[in-house]
Chains A and B, each alone.
Chain A
Amino acid sequence: MYTKGSDLIKIAKEKNKRICDVVLDYESERTGKSKKEIFEQMRSVLKVMIDSANRGLEKEVISISGLIGGNAKKVEDYVKNKKTISGNIINKAMARALSVSEVNASMGKIVAAPTAGSAGILPAVIITAAEVLNKNEDEMVEALFTASGIGQIIAKNATVSGAEGGCQAECGSAAAMAAAAVVEMAGGTPEQALHAAAIAIQNILGLVCDPVAGLVEAPCYLRNSSGAVNALTSADLALAGIKSIIPFDEVVDAMYKVGKSLPFELRETALGGIAATPTGQKFMKEIFGE
């Protein structure tokens, strides 16, 4: 069993396996279910992810409150019609992350990964990386096991809840999970995968949770798009050979401590950050009355 990133690397090395295999092995051992059954259940998770990442590209999806919507389509059209600054891969990933956020906010079907608020990051990153690297569906499912392993360790040693640890715990964890998954998908080592995860968390350490009107809409949709970019670039840095000078496990501990020390106002209460701005307050009144 593993409870730390260092365990994951140790087991992977001893058994000469990838993180995704170690995670699948343990899930089978833990639940008594066959690996095949678990793998197929994960495939159905992937399918929901793909649907939710595509829906907003095809047509405008608007949130229930009307606060956000149609942004995934805007980016998709922009990629098709204009020369982008940061390139089509980055833009595609952002569009997909926005799509999942919009589907979520419009009461569509999504997979919490690890939460509903941060649900866009992992699908966007896995789908986009698979496109670039020419990977098939099975390889995408494998990547979801890598991501789960990172998520399990963060949830055990820290938190993935915005109310507890701020947005760094939601969108930061999602980006770390996605970054590690892409590294393995691209053929990187377990060490490189954990470096990528550690880098992704450090990039957004301290990020607060400040949803406007208390709704999982804004700034959540933007943080899904930036979280996807964070994951992709962190994966690239790790694959290029950059190491996080602080080990993954210590970064996770730091994230937890930072989360605990965030004031109550900056942990999902909608009392601080952009939620507390005059315009944020105005939206709150418009949606809920006094």
Chain B
Amino acid sequence: MKLYGVFDILGPVMIGPSSSHTAGAARLGKVASKIAGDDFYKVEFYLHGSFAKTYKGHGTDRALVAGVLGMDPDDERLRNSLEIAKEKGIEVIFIPTDLGDQHPNTVKFVFYKKDGKNVEVMGSSIGGGNILITEIEGEKVEFTGEYPTIIAKYNDRKGMLADISKFILEKDINIANMKVTRNLQMITTAIIELDAKVDDEMVEKIRNIKDMLNVIVINPV
């Protein structure tokens, strides 16, 4: 096994008090809101396990809200996020619950969007500020947000992955991990983790591929 980097030992730089309950929660919120898109007016947070029991004392509620407002885990406005959400007219609701067989620090977000759609995202804070997104719109996924990540949804057809990879290769970027799942409606979700940052031009090209339904890009936070 490789050695930890020096900034894994002296880091993260974060808002206290707990890397898993605060820093990880902020990262979860930020990644979830990128998946949802930013035009939401209300967010429900279903809190599971230790998150459900101790969210107030650890400021997990503030951290989650800071994240969905786009703040990083070391943003000093984090502790005032509930007030900031209010000013922005975003309603936030915390619901302690049991999400079943999940990691003890798990949250399910439901974003209510202005266009009438809801987006559901679930993820866990797995220690040291690291996270795992486990479900998007009811479908199982698995990615950490540590790599620049592309989530592409498309009507399944042959050669789709080849088309996507072509534009990634064009930018000379290596694919670190890839996971592809297809639902009963024959809609495929591809989660592609890359070794280098995603640029707009590449995303535009991928978006314009025939049969593409939706492309979400998450650069690391």
Say yes or no: A110 contacts B14, CB within 8 Å.
yes
A3-B3, A115-B19 in contact; A213/B9 too (CB < 8 A)?
no
Say yes or no: A215 contacts B9, CB within 8 Å.
no
Q: Which residue of A lies closest to B50 (CB)?
A: A214
Say yes or no: B1 contacts A156, CB within 8 Å.
yes
Q: How far is the CB of B1 from chain A (nearest CB, A)?
A: 7
Q: Does residue A114 face the partner (Cβ distance < 8 Å to B)?
A: yes
Give the interface of B toward A (CB within 8 A).
Answer: 1-19, 22-23, 50, 53-54, 56-59, 62, 74, 76, 78-79, 127-129
Give the interface of A toward B (CB within 8 A).
Answer: 1-3, 23, 26-27, 30-31, 38, 41-42, 44-45, 48, 63-65, 103-117, 119, 122, 144-145, 147-149, 151-152, 155-156, 160-161, 177, 213-217, 287-288
Say yes or no: B17 contacts A107, CB within 8 Å.
yes
Tell me how many residue pairs across A and B have CB atoms closer than 8 Å: 132
Q: Which residue of B lies closest to A156 (CB)?
A: B3
The CA of A147 and the CA of B17, in the complex, are separated in Å by: 22
The CA of A23 and the CA of B8, in the complex, are separated in Å by: 13
Residues of chain B within 8 A (CB-CB) of A64 are: 17, 57-59, 79
Residues of chain A within 8 A (CB-CB) of B8 are: 155
A30-B3, A30-B5 in contact; A105/B127 too (CB < 8 A)?
no
The CA of A152 and the CA of B16, in the complex, are separated in Å by: 22
Interface of A is mostly: helix
Which one, A38, A107, A214, contacts B79 given CB within 8 A? Answer: A107
Say yes or no: A65 contacts B13, CB within 8 Å.
no
Sample of 15 more A-B contacts, CB < 8 Å, known A31-B5, A104-B16, A104-B17: A30-B5, A48-B13, A63-B17, A64-B58, A108-B16, A111-B10, A111-B12, A115-B19, A116-B16, A122-B10, A144-B10, A147-B10, A151-B4, A152-B9, A216-B16
A215-B54, A287-B57, A288-B54 in contact; A106/B5 too (CB < 8 A)?
no
Q: Which residue of A lies closest to B79 (CB)?
A: A107
Say yes or no: B17 contacts A112, CB within 8 Å.
no
Q: Which residue of A lies closest to B74 (CB)?
A: A109
Say yes or no: A148 contacts B6, CB within 8 Å.
yes
A107-B22, A216-B18 in contact; A151/B57 too (CB < 8 A)?
no
Residues of chain B within 8 A (CB-CB) of A63 are: 17
A42-B10, A147-B10, A215-B17 in contact; A65/B76 too (CB < 8 A)?
no
Residues of chain B within 8 A (CB-CB) of A119 are: 16
Q: Which residue of A lies closest to B22 (CB)?
A: A107
Say yes or no: A45 contacts B13, CB within 8 Å.
yes
A107-B59, A110-B16, A215-B58 in contact; A151/B76 too (CB < 8 A)?
no
The CA of A64 and the CA of B57, in the complex, are separated in Å by: 7
A107-B22, A107-B78, A156-B1 in contact; A216/B17 too (CB < 8 A)?
yes
Q: Which residue of B lies closest to A149 (CB)?
A: B6
Q: Which residue of A lies closest to B54 (CB)?
A: A214
Say yes or no: A41 contacts B7, CB within 8 Å.
yes
Say yes or no: A151 contacts B17, CB within 8 Å.
no
Say yes or no: A27 contacts B5, CB within 8 Å.
yes
Say yes or no: B22 contacts A113, CB within 8 Å.
no
